[in-house]
Every structure is written in C-alpha cells, then in structure tokens.
C-alpha cells in the first residue's frame, strides 16, 4: 500500500499524497500514446475518473525506501511493436517524471504485463471501412 511522501527541506516539510504519486505514474504511461493501459493484477481495466483514485492503489504500488522509490505497475499492452522496447520507454518515462516532480531517486520500476489487447473491429465498423474503398 502506498503512503504519502514527506520531503524535508531546509525551509520545512513538503508532503505529496499517494494519489498524486500514482497519478504521475499513470500520466507518464498515458503520455506515450496509448501503448499501455493501467489495469489491476488480473488484467481488468480500471476507471480512473475523478474521486476514484482508491482503485488506482491496486494497480500502482509505490514504496519509498531510504534509497528512493520502488514502483510496481500492472498494465495491459496494445498488440503492436516491440514489447521490450515499449516497456523500456515507459519505465524510463516513469522514472524521469517521478524525479522531475518529486526530486526523489527511483530505485526500480517494475512493469507487470497482465494482458495484451488486440484491435477488434466490430461488424458495423468493418462495413464502414469496406464501403470507403
């Protein structure tokens, strides 16, 4: 379970809520064009609407250790491109964004792929594509 992050400075202390940390990770993933969707550990896609951040804690786990953050996030991948390349890009983006917004070192980013989604064309959409030719 994630806890709030408290950063002590020479002027006082700053506390960043667990929801904000999870949102930074989620936004990092989404900023790379929808190649991944945050899900729970069983592959169920979650609704991250306003005030539903408690569900995010089941999908994004951020632990603060004396050496920095340990991040674990469950995702469903889009069926396209190199899986390892996509995972590398997302893990680097998560690391960069957490450092940028919190100034705390990131020890590890573990992305757990729990599913792959493929492009499904429903009959109605298929008919529109064929009639456009």
- Domain of residue 124: give its range: 5-131
Q: How far apart are CA 127 and CA 90, in angstroms?
A: 35
Classify residue 79 by its DSSP letter: S
- Residues 6+ away with beta carbon under 8 Å from 27: 97
The pLDDT tens digits along the chain (133 residues) read 566 778 777 888 888 888 888 889 989 988 887 777 777 766 666 655 443 444 555 688 888 888 888 999 988 887 777 788 888 999 999 999 999 998 888 999 999 988 877 765 455 554 555 565 5
Tell me the β-bridge partners of 60: 73
Which CATH number belongs to the domain containing residue 122 in this structure? Answer: 3.30.70.1350
Ramachandran class of 108: left when φ > 0, alpha when ψ lies in -120 to 50, beta otherwise: beta
Q: Please tell me the total count of domains within the chain.
A: 1
pTM greater than 0.85: no
Q: How far apart are CA 80 and CA 17, in angstroms?
A: 34
């Amino acid at each position: 379970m994630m806890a709030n992050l408290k950063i002590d400075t020479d002027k006082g202390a700053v506390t960043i809520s667990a929801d904000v940390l999870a949102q930074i990770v989620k936004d990092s993933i989404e900023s790379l064009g929808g190649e991944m969707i945050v899900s729970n550990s069983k592959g169920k896609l979650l609704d991250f609407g306003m005030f539903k951040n408690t569900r995010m804690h089941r999908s994004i786990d951020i632990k603060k250790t004396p050496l920095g953050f340990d991040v674990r996030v469950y995702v469903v991948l889009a069926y396209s491109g190199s899986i390892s390349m996509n995972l590398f890009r997302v893990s680097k983006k998560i690391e960069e964004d957490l450092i940028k917004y919190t100034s705390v070192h990131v020890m590890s980013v573990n992305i757990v792929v729990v599913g792959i989604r493929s492009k499904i064309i429903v009959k109605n959409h298929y008919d529109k594509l064929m009639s456009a030719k």
